[in-house]
Protein backbone atom coordinates (compact mmCIF):
# COMPACT_ATOMS: atom_id res chain seq x y z
CA UNK A 1 0.00 0.00 0.00
CA UNK A 2 1.08 3.56 -0.68
CA UNK A 3 -0.59 6.84 0.19
CA UNK A 4 -0.79 7.42 -3.58
CA UNK A 5 -3.01 4.38 -4.19
CA UNK A 6 -6.03 6.50 -3.30
CA UNK A 7 -5.06 9.04 -5.98
CA UNK A 8 -4.90 6.49 -8.81
CA UNK A 9 -8.63 6.63 -9.65
CA UNK A 10 -8.63 10.45 -9.87
CA UNK A 11 -5.10 11.00 -11.19
CA UNK A 12 -6.17 11.84 -14.76
CA UNK A 13 -8.31 14.70 -13.50
CA UNK A 14 -5.63 15.66 -10.96
CA UNK A 15 -2.90 15.98 -13.61
CA UNK A 16 -5.07 17.30 -16.46
CA UNK A 17 -3.57 20.82 -16.31
CA UNK A 18 0.02 19.56 -16.50
CA UNK A 19 0.62 18.93 -20.21
CA UNK A 20 3.48 21.24 -21.20
CA UNK A 21 6.08 19.02 -19.52
CA UNK A 22 5.53 16.01 -21.80
CA UNK A 23 7.18 17.49 -24.91
CA UNK A 24 10.12 18.72 -22.83
CA UNK A 25 10.85 15.28 -21.38
CA UNK A 26 10.24 13.56 -24.75
CA UNK A 27 12.83 15.88 -26.31
CA UNK A 28 15.42 14.98 -23.66
CA UNK A 29 14.65 11.29 -24.20
CA UNK A 30 15.10 11.71 -27.96
CA UNK A 31 18.59 13.09 -27.30
CA UNK A 32 19.47 10.27 -24.86
CA UNK A 33 21.92 7.72 -26.14
CA UNK A 34 20.49 4.73 -24.26
CA UNK A 35 17.88 3.66 -21.70
CA UNK A 36 15.54 6.17 -20.09
CA UNK A 37 14.34 5.83 -16.50
CA UNK A 38 11.44 7.66 -14.92
CA UNK A 39 11.45 7.88 -11.13
CA UNK A 40 7.91 7.97 -9.70
CA UNK A 41 6.42 7.01 -13.07
CA UNK A 42 2.83 7.02 -11.77
CA UNK A 43 0.29 6.17 -14.44
CA UNK A 44 2.79 6.53 -17.29
CA UNK A 45 1.57 10.01 -18.24
CA UNK A 46 5.12 10.94 -19.43
CA UNK A 47 6.76 7.50 -19.85
CA UNK A 48 4.22 6.25 -22.41
CA UNK A 49 4.68 9.18 -24.84
CA UNK A 50 8.46 8.79 -24.42
CA UNK A 51 8.32 5.10 -25.35
CA UNK A 52 5.89 5.78 -28.21
CA UNK A 53 7.82 8.67 -29.74
CA UNK A 54 11.43 7.51 -29.21
CA UNK A 55 11.18 3.69 -29.32
CA UNK A 56 13.81 3.59 -26.54
CA UNK A 57 13.67 1.21 -23.59
CA UNK A 58 11.90 2.94 -20.70
CA UNK A 59 12.05 1.79 -17.08
CA UNK A 60 9.43 3.20 -14.72
CA UNK A 61 9.77 3.03 -10.95
CA UNK A 62 7.01 3.79 -8.50
CA UNK A 63 6.07 2.83 -4.95
CA UNK A 64 2.29 2.76 -5.56
CA UNK A 65 0.85 -0.55 -6.84
CA UNK A 66 -2.39 1.18 -7.90
CA UNK A 67 -0.61 3.87 -9.95
CA UNK A 68 1.56 1.20 -11.59
CA UNK A 69 -1.51 -0.88 -12.43
CA UNK A 70 -2.95 2.07 -14.38
CA UNK A 71 0.41 2.49 -16.17
CA UNK A 72 0.44 -1.22 -17.05
CA UNK A 73 -3.06 -1.05 -18.53
CA UNK A 74 -2.28 2.17 -20.45
CA UNK A 75 0.92 0.73 -21.92
CA UNK A 76 -0.93 -2.42 -22.99
CA UNK A 77 -3.67 -0.33 -24.64
CA UNK A 78 -1.02 1.74 -26.44
CA UNK A 79 0.75 -1.44 -27.52
CA UNK A 80 4.10 -0.42 -26.04
CA UNK A 81 6.44 -2.06 -23.57
CA UNK A 82 7.38 -0.27 -20.34
CA UNK A 83 9.50 -2.01 -17.74
CA UNK A 84 7.57 -1.15 -14.59
CA UNK A 85 8.98 -1.83 -11.15
CA UNK A 86 7.33 -1.36 -7.80
CA UNK A 87 10.14 0.12 -5.78
CA UNK A 88 11.20 3.17 -3.81
CA UNK A 89 13.27 5.72 -5.74
CA UNK A 90 15.61 5.88 -2.74
CA UNK A 91 16.65 2.31 -3.62
CA UNK A 92 17.32 2.90 -7.32
CA UNK A 93 19.49 0.06 -8.70
CA UNK A 94 19.47 -0.49 -12.47
CA UNK A 95 20.78 -3.50 -14.38
CA UNK A 96 22.21 -1.16 -17.02
CA UNK A 97 23.31 2.46 -16.49
CA UNK A 98 20.80 4.98 -17.83
CA UNK A 99 21.42 7.70 -20.39
CA UNK A 100 18.60 9.79 -18.91
CA UNK A 101 16.81 9.74 -15.55
CA UNK A 102 13.75 11.96 -15.20
CA UNK A 103 11.47 12.80 -12.31
CA UNK A 104 8.58 14.92 -13.63
CA UNK A 105 5.64 16.60 -11.91
CA UNK A 106 7.36 17.56 -8.65
CA UNK A 107 7.66 13.98 -7.47
CA UNK A 108 10.99 14.57 -5.72
CA UNK A 109 9.01 16.76 -3.31
CA UNK A 110 7.46 13.61 -1.85
CA UNK A 111 10.80 12.91 -0.14
CA UNK A 112 10.56 14.18 3.44
CA UNK A 113 14.15 14.82 4.52
CA UNK A 114 17.50 16.02 3.22
CA UNK A 115 18.79 12.49 3.82
CA UNK A 116 16.08 11.01 1.53
CA UNK A 117 16.80 13.54 -1.21
CA UNK A 118 20.56 13.10 -0.94
CA UNK A 119 20.12 9.36 -1.21
CA UNK A 120 18.05 9.68 -4.41
CA UNK A 121 20.61 12.03 -5.98
CA UNK A 122 23.45 9.67 -5.06
CA UNK A 123 21.55 6.65 -6.42
CA UNK A 124 20.82 8.56 -9.64
CA UNK A 125 24.49 9.51 -10.04
CA UNK A 126 25.56 5.91 -9.44
CA UNK A 127 23.09 4.62 -12.06
CA UNK A 128 23.81 7.14 -14.83
CA UNK A 129 26.29 6.65 -17.65
CA UNK A 130 29.11 9.22 -17.76
CA UNK A 131 27.61 12.14 -19.66
CA UNK A 132 24.07 10.95 -18.76
CA UNK A 133 21.43 13.45 -17.69
CA UNK A 134 19.11 13.82 -14.72
CA UNK A 135 16.11 16.11 -15.27
CA UNK A 136 13.30 17.01 -12.90
CA UNK A 137 10.91 19.79 -12.08
CA UNK A 138 9.53 21.15 -8.82
CA UNK A 139 7.55 24.23 -7.83
CA UNK A 140 9.23 27.26 -6.30
CA UNK A 141 7.63 27.80 -2.90
CA UNK A 142 5.62 31.03 -2.93
CA UNK A 143 4.36 32.22 0.45
CA UNK A 144 1.52 34.25 -1.08
CA UNK A 145 0.12 31.23 -2.94
CA UNK A 146 0.59 29.14 0.20
CA UNK A 147 -1.26 31.66 2.36
CA UNK A 148 -4.08 31.86 -0.14
CA UNK A 149 -4.59 28.11 -0.27
CA UNK A 150 -3.98 27.22 3.37
CA UNK A 151 -6.81 25.39 5.11
CA UNK A 152 -9.24 25.81 2.22
CA UNK A 153 -11.38 23.16 0.63
CA UNK A 154 -11.26 23.39 -3.16
CA UNK A 155 -13.66 21.79 -5.59
CA UNK A 156 -11.38 21.43 -8.63
CA UNK A 157 -10.21 19.11 -10.06
CA UNK A 158 -11.68 16.96 -7.25
CA UNK A 159 -12.70 18.13 -3.80
CA UNK A 160 -9.51 18.47 -1.71
CA UNK A 161 -7.94 20.51 1.04
CA UNK A 162 -4.43 21.93 1.32
CA UNK A 163 -2.71 22.63 4.64
CA UNK A 164 0.67 24.29 5.08
CA UNK A 165 3.01 23.16 7.84
CA UNK A 166 5.81 25.78 7.72
CA UNK A 167 7.80 24.24 10.57
CA UNK A 168 8.33 21.17 8.40
CA UNK A 169 8.35 23.04 5.02
CA UNK A 170 5.48 20.69 4.22
CA UNK A 171 2.23 20.89 2.32
CA UNK A 172 -0.46 18.28 3.03
CA UNK A 173 -3.06 17.54 0.37
CA UNK A 174 -6.12 15.62 1.47
CA UNK A 175 -8.93 14.34 -0.70
CA UNK A 176 -12.41 14.48 0.76
CA UNK A 177 -12.54 10.72 0.25
CA UNK A 178 -9.64 10.32 2.72
CA UNK A 179 -6.29 9.79 0.95
CA UNK A 180 -3.56 12.26 1.94
CA UNK A 181 -0.18 13.04 0.40
CA UNK A 182 2.55 15.42 1.50
CA UNK A 183 5.09 17.54 -0.37
CA UNK A 184 8.21 19.03 1.20
CA UNK A 185 9.29 22.14 -0.68
CA UNK A 186 12.95 22.60 -1.58
CA UNK A 187 14.91 25.83 -2.16
CA UNK A 188 17.31 26.53 -5.01
CA UNK A 189 20.29 26.29 -2.66
CA UNK A 190 19.19 22.87 -1.49
CA UNK A 191 18.86 21.60 -5.07
CA UNK A 192 22.36 22.91 -5.78
CA UNK A 193 23.65 21.23 -2.62
CA UNK A 194 22.12 17.93 -3.69
CA UNK A 195 23.81 18.13 -7.09
CA UNK A 196 27.08 18.98 -5.37
CA UNK A 197 27.08 16.05 -2.94
CA UNK A 198 26.07 13.64 -5.72
CA UNK A 199 28.85 14.86 -8.04
CA UNK A 200 26.42 16.06 -10.75
CA UNK A 201 26.72 19.30 -12.71
CA UNK A 202 24.01 21.73 -13.72
CA UNK A 203 23.64 21.82 -17.49
CA UNK A 204 20.62 24.14 -17.46
CA UNK A 205 18.08 25.59 -15.07
CA UNK A 206 14.90 26.74 -16.79
CA UNK A 207 11.90 28.58 -15.42
CA UNK A 208 9.41 26.57 -17.45
CA UNK A 209 9.22 23.76 -20.04
CA UNK A 210 9.57 26.20 -22.94
CA UNK A 211 13.17 26.60 -21.74
CA UNK A 212 12.83 30.22 -20.69
CA UNK A 213 15.70 31.08 -18.30
CA UNK A 214 15.05 30.70 -14.57
CA UNK A 215 14.77 34.15 -12.98
CA UNK A 216 13.21 35.97 -10.04
CA UNK A 217 9.71 35.62 -11.50
CA UNK A 218 10.00 31.84 -11.98
CA UNK A 219 7.58 29.61 -10.13
CA UNK A 220 8.97 26.30 -11.38
CA UNK A 221 12.46 24.79 -11.28
CA UNK A 222 13.05 22.85 -14.50
CA UNK A 223 16.46 21.33 -13.97
CA UNK A 224 18.78 19.45 -16.31
CA UNK A 225 21.92 18.04 -14.67
CA UNK A 226 24.69 15.92 -16.10
CA UNK A 227 27.08 13.28 -14.76
CA UNK A 228 30.58 14.42 -15.70
CA UNK A 229 32.52 12.33 -18.19
CA UNK A 230 35.66 10.89 -16.55
Q: How far is the CB of 204 from ligand SAM (least distance, A)?
A: 20
Task: Specify the DSSP element, H or E, that contains 118.
Answer: helix 114-126
Query: Is 127 one of the binding residues for ligand SAM (CB under 6 A)?
Result: no
Residue 176 phi/psi, 5-degree rounding, is -60, -30
Closest to ligand SAM by CB, 139 or 214:
139
- Position among 49, 104, 132, 207 found at the interface with ligand SAM (CB under 6 A): 104
**Residue 120 to residue 83: CA distance in whole angstroms:** 20
* Contact status: 183 vs ligand SAM (CB under 6 A): no
**Binding-site size, ligand SAM (CB under 6 A):** 20
**Judged by CB, which is closer to ligand SAM: 27, or 88?**
88
Q: Determine, following the binding rule CB under 6 A, whether residue 2 of this chain makes contact with ligand SAM.
A: yes
Residues 131-160 that bind ligand SAM (CB under 6 A): none
- Choice from 24, 28, 29, 45 touching ligand SAM (CB under 6 A): 45
Contact 54, 30 (CB under 8 A): yes
15 binds ligand SAM (CB under 6 A): yes
Element (H, E) at 179: none
> Is 39:105 a contact under the CB 8 Å cutoff?
no
Distance CA 103, CA 63 (A): 14
**Is the separation of the CB atoms in 1 and 179 below 8 Å?**
no
Output the CA–CA distances (angstroms, integers) from residue 9 to 43, 58, 61, 158, 213, in the order listed: 10, 24, 19, 11, 36
> Considering only 50-58, 101-109, 154-162, 207-215, which stretch makes contact with ligand SAM by CB under 6 A?
101-109
Taking CB under 6 A as the criterion, which residues in 71-90 touch ligand SAM? Answer: 88-90
Positions in the binding site for ligand SAM (CB under 6 A)? 2, 4, 15, 40-42, 45-46, 61-64, 67, 88-90, 104-105, 107, 110
Amino acid sequence: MSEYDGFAPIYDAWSADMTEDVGFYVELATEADGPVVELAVGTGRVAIPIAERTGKPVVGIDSSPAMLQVARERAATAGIHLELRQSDMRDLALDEPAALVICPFRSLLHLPTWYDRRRVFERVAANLRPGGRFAWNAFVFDFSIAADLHGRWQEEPVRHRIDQVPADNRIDIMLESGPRISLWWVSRGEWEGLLDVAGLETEALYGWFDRRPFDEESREFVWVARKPVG
